[in-house]
């Protein structure tokens, strides 16, 4: 079936005020001198010269610096395509011109085409999507973390409970009464109650969530952005362990003006964050004069799929406590765990300790665990009353549609269904994972031990020609255009070690796996690295 | 591992400037009135002495038409293709939006304008409400510290929606009662110069047409002048046409789209229209807004930025069939208009017989009432004192002109479409008695309206 294009997301750039403004302040009074107020020759020649010199200086500093080569993502340490210094005041200099009306620098930075492999790959698949029968030579999608394994369960619930009605049935009544009017922006209380119950279930039943500490948003994307707006000012930064979800670059930075500082994790640590690395990153930021406002982690991790051990969570809490900063935990894959490791939510950790909870914020959503990305349901769960108050007000820009609230409330309140769903879902993800990882193993490709997520983190370092980002992208390109599979290269996720790829397998059926493995094999055979 | 905390040593963790700022404006009278209503809401049977909400511009007069449609067209509210329809829909998170829905919106917007203009579905960007649409456009058209020019009086929510997260300023275009608050070229120029004098870069003009809170459409000649102005200054024009379907007479609304078509779209890349289903269709809970832009770059950018404010695919699907049903929409628009006109006439007549004049309006869910003769002093304080009495003694929540930045004190916005006719009658009765008491007593001195304390009781006891 054709996969419609996901919202493409871009890396963004920060706008900065140009130096031109200061220059203008010098020029204008000089112009006065030049326009004949000094009668003497010297009096007019020298200012003239000065004037033109300043003009030259100002012109050179007013023009925007070109971005770095857009084709290859920049080194992980400098984060993404160069910060684009476009002049928001460029229209000032074109006084009286009837040129094209300008847009803001925020807009200019994003209007250019996608240049991250993450988005390029998604675009390509939508142009030529694989279908076992209709398009067997199309591109197989392994770049979209969506769970399509359990729709039969959802559809069964829909047919039993909604009687095919989009509106949902309130006792069989199709009335839109009660949901047409303005609702609280941050979601109806019944919905919050149902969501709190679902989150508790999904996270193993070891922690309860208080609906009063919840703010509901139209997806996890605005949930993260809203938290960012509440916790940091433009120019501030968040520390983010790498590799991380490429979407963070847009969601966290674009309109907020906040910086993301990658903190590199290594395969030797199983890509688990080390406090030493965090500390170093924090100190380096301080040296640069950048104020770090918090840490952003995803647990279960995207793209690696591992779970943070309890010990690490405690260490992270120590760290943020010590630095007096925030921690945002994106737990959106909490319900997609399947291994023997246990998932520990940040909410559970702080339940058992006396610490300042005001710095803890959790993000959740129904796009992954419940496969409802189209319905736009996200959660901010915070222990900080001021953050909740501010976030509540900000949800006016990102509220969940009322009919959807009602439908999903009814779904989540059916605990018989949700329990059975999570059990079955995690089993099917696990089976698919095992099959896929075994298939890769046949090709000599190992994956990081993972017990969560809808993907595996595969080491294809053995297949790349030069052990570098360039080599990795060459392989990615081959996989996309020759093998015709779309996987996400580690560099798009800011991974410091080349050769790692995220492969999502929950949009496949079991029959597709041999096809994928076969295609990779063909490319692998042509990829014998130079010894 | 336990973590020892010494509360006295650690300063609490800081929040951002956005989080602690007051720009959300929720401490203004506009919102204070809502709080009073929430605490003591009027109910015909359960709480006849409560506060009647006349500060909320919500359209409840045509609800039955929607319900009737859904009853008759159950296939419209089905997933189509049974279960697989649900799956496709639940997975659909493309920020382009459902094509069928965009087409339906385009067609609905065309119908509202009597078929006088055409809208291209490819230029429609979907957002979760017009609130988000206006904020999005501001992010796109202006940088922090830049400004948008907005004619006064304006919707109080703009202070928050256009400024809070965006860091953009609003510079008012002052309009006066002497010419019915119409926007003049002089006022436009004055606002622009004002901004220049403060060293603020103006990026655009934002108008609401039909106007909130005036409840009147902007005349064609004025629209032409505004368009000429923005063209001369090479800036943008945002036209918030959220009340376009609530114009009482079909011939009296001119959309900026018509101006552009008449000029064969010359200079049109500076124009952007905002629309929503919250007012005309009475579905604010659904969170459906759109940006229609004549500028390709703005369309592309807005679309990408709409990721932060997507409309649920379920809602898009549900509304797509409803809005494509031309018979339904023609009928709805026609009947909605008539009912709103009838309400308007009812309130105007009721106010007139109480001795209160309003601005001549022809659209919207409210009227713009002139209580300046009642003010003890022609100041903002005088207006707020009167507002306070209206709220606590007469128990009506109406919106004071000062919260709409009106340059003349004494004007109030009064909503009439968010209640039953009966409730409206009760409200009018209370006003009537209030005015009588004012005239017959010495209440007017010292802004002391406390004699109205038992007013609501009197009204409650009277037959309507």
Check if A113 contacts B (Cβ < 8 Å): no
Instruction: Kindly tell me if the per-residue pLDDT of A289 is higher than 60.
Output: yes
Contacts of B83 in chain A (CB under 8 A): 155-156, 158-159
Cβ contacts of residue B304 below 8 Å, gap of 6+? A7, A8, A9, A10, A110, B95
**Three state DSSP letters for B213-229:** CCCCCCCHHHHHHHHHH
Q: Assess contact for A94 and A85: CB atoms under 8 A.
A: no
Of A28-32, A161-165, B366-370, B382-386, least confident by mean pLDDT is A28-32
Q: What is the pTM of this model?
A: 0.87
| Chain A from 153 to 172: CB within 8 A of any B CB | 154-156, 158-159, 162, 164-167
Work out the percent of chain A whose per-residue pLDDT is above 90.
66
Chain B residue with minimal CA distance to A358?
B13
- Computed over every residue of chain B, the mean pLDDT equals 91
Check A103 against B301: CB less than 8 A apart.
yes
Question: Residue B221 above 60 pLDDT?
Answer: yes
Gap between the Cα atoms of B387 and B398, Å rounded: 7
A202 touches chain B (CB under 8 A): no
CA distance A207 to A195: 13
- CB-nearest to A386 from B15, B84, B88 is B15
Q: Which residues of A touch B314 (CB under 8 A)?
A: 166, 374-375, 401, 403-404, 407
Q: Which residues pair with A529 in a beta bridge?
A: none
| Residue carrying the six token digits 């979760």 | B128
> Would you place residue A397 in the very low, low, confident or very high pLDDT band (cuts 50, 70, 90)?
very high
**Model confidence pLDDT, tens digit, residues A80-101:** 333 333 333 333 333 333 457 8
Give me the DSSP letters along B75-111.
Answer: GGGB-SSTHHHHHHHHH---TT--HHHHHHHHHHHHH
Residue B456 has pLDDT above 90, yes or no: no
Q: Which chain B residues touch A311 with a CB distance below 8 Å?
A: 1
Record: contact B94-A5, CB cut-off 8 A: yes
Q: Are B285 and A401 an interchain contact pair (Cβ–Cβ within 8 Å)?
A: yes
Give percent helix, percent strand, percent coil of chain B, each to the nearest 5. Answer: 50, 15, 35
Q: Is A318 on the interface with B (CB under 8 A)?
A: yes
User: Which of A4, A111, A230 faces B18 most closely, judged by CB atoms?
Assistant: A230
Better-predicted residue by pLDDT, A411 or B21: A411
Q: How far is A397 from chain B (nearest CA, A)?
A: 5
**Per-residue pLDDT, A49:** 61
State both tokens at A530. 């130079």
Task: Return the residue in A99, A103, A191, A350 with the most chain B beta carbons within 10 A, the one to mutate for interface testing.
Answer: A103
Residue A500 has pLDDT above 90, yes or no: yes
Lowest mean pLDDT, pick from A466-470, A472-476, B7-11, B220-224 = B7-11
A19 close contact with B: CB closer than 8 A: no
Report how far residue A179's alpha carbon sits from residue A175's, in angstroms, rounded to the nearest whole number: 9
Inter-chain residue contact A182 with B287, CB threshold 8 Å: no
Are A229 and B284 an interchain contact pair (Cβ–Cβ within 8 Å)? Answer: no
pLDDT at A104: 86
In which element (H, E) is residue A523 found?
Answer: helix A512-525
Partners of residue B66 in chain A, C-beta under 8 Å: 176, 180
What pLDDT is recorded for position B85?
A: 82
Q: How far is CA B384 from the centre of its chain?
A: 22
CA distance B432 to B428: 6
Give the C-alpha separation, B53 to B167, whole Å. Answer: 32
Catalytic residue among A118, A130, A244, A245: A245
Write out chain A residues lying below 8 Å of B88, CB-based: 1
Rounded average pLDDT over A387-408: 95
Query: From B168, which residue of chain A is nearest by alpha-carbon distance?
Result: A104
| Residue pair A426/A415 in contact by the 8 Å Cβ criterion | no
Query: Which range has the worst mean pLDDT, A79-83, A168-172, B360-364?
Result: A79-83
Which residues of chain B have a CB within 8 Å of the CB of A89? 201
**Residues in chain A closer than 8 A to B9 (CB atoms):** none
The predicted pLDDT at position B81 comes to: 65
Check CB contact under 8 Å for A167 and B77.
yes
- Give pLDDT, residue A109: 72
B chain contacts of residue A376, beta-carbon cutoff 8 Å: 93, 128, 310-313
Which residue out of A166, A312, A392 would a mutagenesis test of the B interface target, given it has the greatest number of B Cβ atoms within 10 Å? A166
- What is the token pair recorded at A48? 């003239």
- The answer to ipTM > 0.85 is yes
| Residue A245 is among the residues annotated as catalytic for this protein | yes
| Contact call for A401 and B314, based on CB within 8 A | yes
The pLDDT value recorded for residue B104 is 97
pLDDT, residue A89, reads 37
Percent of chain A residues past pLDDT 70, beyond the cut: 76
pLDDT bracket for residue A74 (50, 70, 90): very low
**Which residues in chain B are closer than 8 Å to A173, comparing Cβ atoms?**
none
B87:A154 CB<8 A: yes
What is the tens place of the pLDDT at every residue in A212-244? 999 999 999 999 999 999 999 999 999 999 999
Minimal Cα distance from B92: which residue of A? A374
Q: Which of B420, B416, B423, B429 is nearest to B457 (CA)?
A: B429
pLDDT digits (tens, 9 = 90+) for A246-262: 999 999 999 999 999 99
Residue A26 at interface with chain B, using a CB cutoff of 8 Å: no
Give the span between the Cα atoms of A357 and A351, in whole angstroms: 9
Query: Is A330 an annotated catalytic residue?
Result: yes
CA distance A477 to A222: 32
Nearest to A144 by CA among A6, A244, A250: A6
CA distance A525 to B273: 56
Partner residue facing B16 (CB), from A100, A180, A230 = A230
**Min CA distance, B8 vs chain A (Å)?**
12
Q: Which of A115, A295, A360, A368 is catalytic?
A: A368
Helix (H) or strand (E) holding B298: helix B296-305
Chain B residues with CB inside 8 Å of A251's CB? 307-308
Does A131 contact chain B (CB < 8 Å)?
A: no
Residue B159 has pLDDT above 90, yes or no: yes
Q: Would you please indicate which residues of B are annotated as catalytic (active-site) residues?
A: 155, 240, 242, 279
Strands B147-151 and B124-127: unpaired
pLDDT at B339: 97
pLDDT at A165: 65
Q: Look up residue B414 and give its two tokens.
A: 């009064």
CB atoms within 10 A of CB B251: 7
Contact A70, A115 (CB under 8 A): yes
pLDDT at B462 over 90: no
List CB contacts of B35: < 8 A, sequence separation 6 or more. Answer: none
Q: Does the pLDDT value for residue B290 go beyond 80?
A: yes
Query: What pLDDT band is residue A278 in, cutting at 50, 70 and 90?
Result: very high
The reply to whether residue B234 touches residue A101, judged by beta carbons under 8 angstroms, is: yes
Number of neighbours of residue A309 by Cβ within 10 angstroms: 14
H-only helix segments in B198-295: 220-233, 256-262
The pLDDT, as a whole number, for residue B405 is: 96
**Dist. CA B228–CA B292, nearest whole Å:** 20
C-beta pairs of B46-49 under 8 Å, 24+ apart in sequence: B48/B426, B48/B460, B49/B395, B49/B456, B49/B457, B49/B460
Report d(CA A26, CA A498) in Å as an integer.
50
Burial, B244: exposed, middle or buried (Cβ in 10 Å; 0-12, 13-18, 19+)? buried
Task: Pick A225's closest partner by Cβ from B58, B300, B308.
Answer: B308
Winning range, highest mean pLDDT, from A124-128, A129-133, A341-345, B408-412: B408-412
- Measured between alpha carbons, how far is A77 from A74 in angstroms, rounded to an integer? 8
Q: Say which residue, B367 or B20, is predicted with more confidence.
A: B367
Which residues of chain B lie closer than 8 angstroms to A344, CB-CB?
none
Residue B25: closest C-alpha in chain A: A393
Please indicate whether, in this complex, the C-beta atoms of B95 and A146 are within 8 angstroms of each other.
no
Supply the mean pLDDT for chain A: 83
Tokens of A269: 């640590």
- Write the pLDDT tens digit of every residue in B222-264: 999 999 999 999 999 999 999 999 999 988 999 999 999 999 9
Contact A456/B at CB under 8 A: no
Are the Cβ atoms of A180 and B63 closer than 8 angstroms?
yes
Q: Is A397 near chain B, with CB under 8 Å? A: yes
pLDDT at A350: 83
Q: Is A124 exposed, middle or buried (0-12, 13-18, 19+ CB in 10 A)?
A: middle
Q: With CB atoms and an 8 Å threshold, state whether B307 touches A9.
A: yes
What pLDDT is stored for residue A17 in this prediction?
43
Indicate whether B27 pLDDT > 80. no
The Cβ-side half-sphere exposure at B176, using a 13 Å CA radius, reads 6
Choose the weakest-confidence range: A4-8, A32-36, A66-70, B240-244: A66-70
Is A107 in the B-facing interface, judged by CB distances under 8 Å? yes
B132 close to A397: Cβ distance less than 8 angstroms: yes
* Residue B301 confidence (pLDDT) above 50: yes
């Amino acid at each position: 079936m054709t996969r419609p294009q996901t919202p493409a997301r871009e890396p963004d750039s920060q706008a900065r005020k140009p130096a031109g403004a200061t220059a203008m302040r010098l020029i204008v009074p000089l112009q006065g001198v030049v326009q004949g107020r000094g009668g003497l020759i010297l009096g007019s020649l020298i200012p003239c010269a000065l004037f033109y010199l300043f003009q030259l200086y100002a012109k050179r500093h007013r023009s925007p610096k070109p971005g770095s080569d857009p084709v290859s993502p920049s080194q992980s340490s400098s984060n993404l395509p160069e910060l684009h210094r476009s002049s928001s005041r460029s229209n000032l200099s074109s006084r009286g011109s009837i040129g094209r009306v300008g847009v803001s620098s925020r807009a200019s930075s994003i209007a250019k085409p996608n240049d991250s492999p993450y988005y390029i790959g998604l675009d390509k698949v939508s142009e030529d999507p694989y279908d076992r029968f209709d398009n067997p030579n199309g591109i197989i999608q392994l770049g979209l973390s969506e769970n399509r394994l359990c729709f039969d369960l959802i559809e069964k619930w829909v047919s039993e409970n909604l009687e095919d009605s989009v509106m949902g049935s309130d006792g069989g009544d199709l009335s839109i009464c009660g949901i047409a009017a303005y609702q609280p922006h941050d979601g109806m209380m019944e919905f919050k109650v149902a969501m709190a119950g679902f989150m508790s279930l999904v996270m193993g039943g070891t922690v309860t969530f208080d609906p009063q500490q919840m703010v509901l948003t139209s997806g996890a994307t605005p949930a993260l952005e809203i938290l960012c707006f509440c916790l940091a000012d433009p120019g501030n930064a968040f520390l983010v362990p790498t590799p991380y979800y490429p979407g963070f670059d847009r969601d966290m930075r674009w309109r907020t003006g906040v910086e993301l500082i990658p903190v590199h994790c290594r395969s030797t640590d199983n890509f688990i964050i080390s406090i030493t690395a965090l500390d170093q990153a924090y100190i380096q930021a301080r040296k640069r004069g950048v104020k770090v406002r918090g840490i952003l982690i995803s647990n279960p991790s995207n793209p690696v799929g591992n779970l943070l051990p309890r010990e690490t969570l405690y260490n992270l809490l120590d760290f943020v406590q010590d630095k007096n900063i925030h921690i945002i935990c994106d737990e959106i894959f909490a319900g997609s765990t399947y291994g023997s490791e246990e998932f520990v939510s940040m909410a559970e950790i702080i339940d058992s300790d006396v610490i300042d909870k005001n710095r803890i914020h959790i993000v959740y959503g129904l796009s992954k665990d419940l496969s409802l990305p189209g319905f736009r349901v996200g959660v901010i769960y915070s222990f900080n009353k001021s953050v909740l108050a501010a976030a509540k007000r900000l949800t006016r820009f990102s509220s969940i549609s009322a009919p959807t609230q009602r439908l999903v409330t009814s779904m989540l309140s059916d605990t018989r269904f949700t329990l059975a769903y999570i059990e079955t879902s995690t089993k099917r993800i696990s089976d698919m994972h095992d099959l896929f990882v075994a298939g890769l193993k046949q090709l000599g490709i190992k994956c990081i031990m993972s017990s969560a997520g809808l993907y595996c983190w595969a080491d294809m370092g053995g297949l790349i020609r030069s052990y570098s980002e360039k080599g990795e992208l060459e392989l990615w390109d081959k996989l996309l255009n020759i093998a015709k599979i779309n996987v996400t290269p580690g560099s798009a996720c800011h991974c410091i070690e080349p050769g790692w790829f995220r492969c999502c397998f929950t949009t496949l059926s079991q029959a597709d796996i041999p096809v994928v493995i076969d295609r990779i094999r063909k490319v692998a055979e042509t990829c014998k690295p130079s010894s | 591992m336990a973590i020892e905390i010494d509360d006295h040593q650690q300063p609490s963790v800081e929040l951002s400037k956005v989080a602690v700022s007051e720009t959300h404006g929720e401490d203004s009278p506009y919102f204070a009135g809502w709080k009073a209503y929430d605490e003591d809401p009027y109910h015909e049977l359960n709480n006849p002495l409560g506060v009647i909400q006349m500060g909320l511009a919500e359209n409840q007069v045509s609800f039955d038409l929607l319900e009737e449609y859904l009853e008759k067209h159950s296939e419209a509210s089905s997933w189509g293709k049974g279960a697989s329809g649900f799956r496709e829909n639940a997975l659909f998170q493309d920020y382009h939006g459902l094509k069928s829905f965009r087409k339906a919106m385009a067609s609905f917007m065309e119908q509202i304008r009597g078929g006088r203009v055409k809208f291209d579905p490819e230029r429609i960007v979907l957002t979760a409400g017009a609130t988000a649409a206006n904020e999005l456009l501001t992010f796109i058209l202006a940088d922090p510290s830049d400004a948008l020019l907005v004619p006064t009086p304006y919707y109080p929510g703009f202070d928050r929606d256009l400024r809070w997260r965006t860091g953009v300023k609003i510079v008012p275009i002052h309009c006066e009662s002497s010419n019915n608050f119409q926007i003049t070229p002089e006022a436009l120029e004055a606002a622009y110069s004002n901004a220049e004098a403060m060293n603020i870069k103006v990026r655009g003009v934002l108008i609401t047409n039909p106007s909130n809170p005036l409840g009147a459409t902007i005349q064609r000649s004025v629209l032409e002048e505004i368009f000429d102005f923005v063209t001369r200054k090479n800036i943008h024009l945002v036209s918030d046409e959220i009340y376009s379907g609530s114009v009482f007479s079909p011939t009296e609304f001119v959309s900026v789209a018509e101006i552009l078509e008449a000029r064969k779209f010359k200079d049109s890349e500076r124009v952007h229209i905002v629309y929503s289903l919250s007012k005309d269709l009475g579905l604010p809970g659904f969170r459906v807004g759109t940006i229609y832009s004549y500028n390709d770059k703005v369309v592309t950018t807005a679309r990408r930025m709409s990721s932060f404010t997507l409309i649920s695919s379920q809602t898009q699907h549900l509304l797509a069939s409803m809005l494509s049903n031309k018979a339904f929409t023609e009928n709805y628009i026609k009947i909605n208009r008539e009912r709103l006109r009838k309400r308007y006439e009812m309130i105007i007549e009721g106010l007139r017989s109480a001795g209160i004049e309003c601005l001549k309006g022809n659209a919207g869910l409210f009227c713009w009432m002139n209580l300046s003769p009642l003010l003890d002093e022609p100041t903002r304080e005088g207006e707020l004192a009167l507002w306070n009495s209206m709220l606590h003694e007469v128990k009506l929540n109406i919106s004071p002109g000062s919260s709409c930045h009106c340059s003349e004190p004494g004007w109030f916005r009064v909503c009439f479409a968010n209640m039953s006719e009966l409730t409206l009658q009760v409200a009018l009765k209370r006003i009537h008695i209030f005015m009588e008491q004012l005239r017959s007593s010495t209440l007017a001195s010292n802004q002391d309206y406390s004699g109205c304390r038992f007013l609501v009781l009197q009204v409650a006891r009277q037959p309507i």
